[in-house]
Structure 1
Amino acid sequence: MCTAVTFLTNDNIHFLARTMDFSFELEARPVFIPRNHKFNSLVAGTKFATKYGFIGAGRDIDGFIFADGFNEKGFSIASLYFEKNAKYSTVTKKDSLNISSTDLVSWALGNIESVAEFEERYHELNIVEVINPLLQVNVPLHWIISDKTGATGVLEITKKGANFYRNQVGVMTNSPEFSWHMTNLNHYANLQPTEFEQKKYGDYVTVSDGPGSGALGLPGDFTSASRFIRTSFLRQYSSRTKGVKNGVIAVLHILNSVDIPKGVKITPKNVSDYTQYKGIMDLNNLTYYLMPYEDSALTKVDLTKQLLEQAKVITF
């Protein structure tokens, strides 16, 4: 059901990356959206335009819908499932931009320059309950945002209203709410990359079976709570290497720890929920890397000056 993580190299390259875990075949691919592109919201009568060009993982369903991406300013966003917690407005508002949950990524990438600006402007939006034509449900989502400075936040809209959190750990998964995950992280303060010291019980001194004892208790299942703990631990202690290539490799190793193969997580509808793709966004060099389930090779798309001069949507 998706895991997102930020990562910083020693030479200050900022990444936002995610797994797209879902049972419905999304068939997402990298897409370039130019400046001044017009979007029709799923909310009837609402339209909005892009100020900035961007690249995202999307699909054309009578207009493009995006799960994640970054724009020319180095701002990025990813939507993750927020089942049983997301609660949107049931009415439109005259003084707001009325959009659906699946429109928010497109709006943000087309109009927001930084995490700070997003925090100021998300109040302009009224996220409205509307049936998505592809999924045939009102899609329950929450969002992680980051920019080229490394600032990171989370937006959740629940029955208590809209909540914006500063994301201090650079990780997000699914339900429960982000604040719950942060509290739960306190229960795993024993985890460490080094070995535990020998302990004495009476006259007996413990002997380790081998290396890795510092991570005893690290959860390995695919629940949202366990993926949040596992990713937070690996992000914290993974070596901060230098360079784009080494940074991408480091991020992939973290994402591989939460990769869900087909067949090991079956939904109540008896279909496989699996990692359909891994997306890695380099926010300083403006590059999107996508790895689909069926291929271990990365598709690389750069948001170049030449691409930004294009006036048409380009699907890769």
Structure 2
Amino acid sequence: MFEKMRSSAAPLPILLAAALAGALLWGTAADACTTLTITDTNGGVYLGRTMEFALDLPWQVTYFPAGREYTSKLADGTPGLAYRTKYRMMAVTMPLASRTDLKVVDGLNAEGLTFSALAFPAVGPEGDAEGLRKALAAVDLGAWALGQFATVAEVKTALESQPVILTPLSTLGNARTPLHYVLHDRTGAGIVIEYADAKQTIYDNPVNVMTNGPRFPWHLTNLGNYSFLTNVDNSQGTFGHFKAIPADSGIATAGLPAANTSVARFVRAAYYSQFAERVADPDAAVRTLAHVMNNFDRPVAITIDASTSPLANEGVAGAMRTTGKDAPVFTSDLNP
């Protein structure tokens, strides 16, 4: 999915086009997910993501006008937080309790705020009887954030006092909202929201990259093992009296991890986000982003995990799996 974070001055058709284009480039679901941003020479920010999953889900592209009333539903149907949206938004959604109960999985609003849900073995608070009346189900975070806030700073401040609980999701085998969440705004700021050890933690995202588990701070620490990476080819080396010269260009990427694990994808995403060419034209920037995201394609059957290990499926319960083949349904046709 590719999104340009635009200001509220942008006409709605531009926002619609961005979201619809993203839907056509969307994968199947959230088993293996990668998000990253690139920027253009004018400071514009562009978000790309992939989703590869062994379970095909009924995605829908949905437009939400401003001024809608929402009530978050908790585990047993108990009403939780009620709120009214301020901003228009376009999102890829998934029906949950009914065909009209659409949950935002990825989207953007008219202010340029974006939201992405990625697979993660979350363990979060469940709430008490008093807190439930004010609680927001984590599965409603997307609509709540995009509908009410313009920046990640606003979301971060609001979550300081807003209780969020994890609820079972029938579509995902009753797993308790096994996701973490990535938000970006048009300034380039980003945050990651994670639920672990029965508590919520919000991290500033200095690399504007995210994949799946382990926790976000672990990924940042692991980048220290790749501090040698650069996009400049070292075109020769000497071994004894022998001068070794590569057959062609591209040796700079030899140190990138090649696996499709979340750990390896995080490192690759950080590299491409850092070194992708900055261009001036927005259309050219989207094409650049399409090329970048193609580096995270996983065709059907390239990796197959039929095990029942809790480490399979990015650490999310094996009940979510159907085929063991993680792959995107759609790939980019934006390449010139």
User: Structure 2 residue aligned with 1:138, among 159, 176, 195?
Assistant: 176
Amino acid across the alignment from 1:87: V
Q: Is the 8 A contact 1:13 1:243 kept in 2?
A: no
Between the aligned partners of 1:163 and 1:64, the Cα distance in structure 2 is: 26
Between the aligned partners of 1:207 and 1:54, the Cα distance in structure 2 is: 53
Q: Is the 8 A contact 2:235 2:245 kept in 1?
A: no
Q: In structure 1, what is the equivalent of residue 93 of structure 2?
A: 58
Aligned structure 1 segments of 4 or more residues deviating by more than 6 angstroms: none
Deviates more, 1:115-124 or 1:173-182: 115-124
Q: Is the 8 A contact 1:56 1:69 kept in 2?
A: yes
Between the aligned partners of 2:212 and 2:86, the Cα distance in structure 1 is: 30
SS in 1 for 2:245: coil
Matched, 1:115 2:147: no
- Compute the displacement of 1:64 (Å): 0.9
- Compute the displacement of 1:67 (Å): 0.7
Amino acid across the alignment from 2:92: A
Between the aligned partners of 1:243 and 1:271, the Cα distance in structure 2 is: 40
Q: Report Cα offsets for 1:128-159 as digits up to 9, x if no partner.
A: 23211322321211111111111111111210
Shift in alpha-carbon separation, 1:296–1:166, aligned structure 2, 3 A:
closer
- Compute the displacement of 1:197 (Å): 4.9
| Alignment RMSD (CA, Å) | 2.0
Matched, 1:232 2:263: no
From the two aligned structures, give the one with the greater helix fraction.
2
- Compute the displacement of 1:271 (Å): 2.8
Shift in alpha-carbon separation, 1:264–1:200, aligned structure 2, 3 A:
closer
| Long gaps (5+) in structure 2 | 1-31, 308-320
User: Structure 2 residue aligned with 1:70, among 76, 85, 108?
Assistant: 108
Q: In structure 2, what is the equivalent of residue 193 of structure 1?
A: 231
TM-score, structure 1 length as denominator?
0.82
Q: In structure 1, what is the equivalent of residue 17 of structure 2?
A: none
- Compute the displacement of 1:78 (Å): 0.6
Amino acid across the alignment from 2:165: V
1:245-256 paired onto structure 2 within 5 Å: 245-256=283-294
Amino acid across the alignment from 1:22: F
- Compute the displacement of 1:8 (Å): 0.9
User: Structure 2 residue aligned with 1:18, among 49, 63, 82?
Assistant: 49
- Compute the displacement of 1:124 (Å): 2.9
TM-score, structure 2 length as denominator?
0.77
Q: Is the 8 A contact 1:92 1:126 kept in 2?
A: no
From the two aligned structures, give the one with the greater strand fraction.
1
Q: How many pairs does the alignment contain? A: 279
Matched, 1:104 2:104: no
Q: In structure 2, what is the equivalent of residue 311 of structure 1?
A: none
For CA contacts below 8 A with separation 6 or more, give which structure has more relative contact order: 1
| Long gaps (5+) in structure 1 | 277-292, 299-316
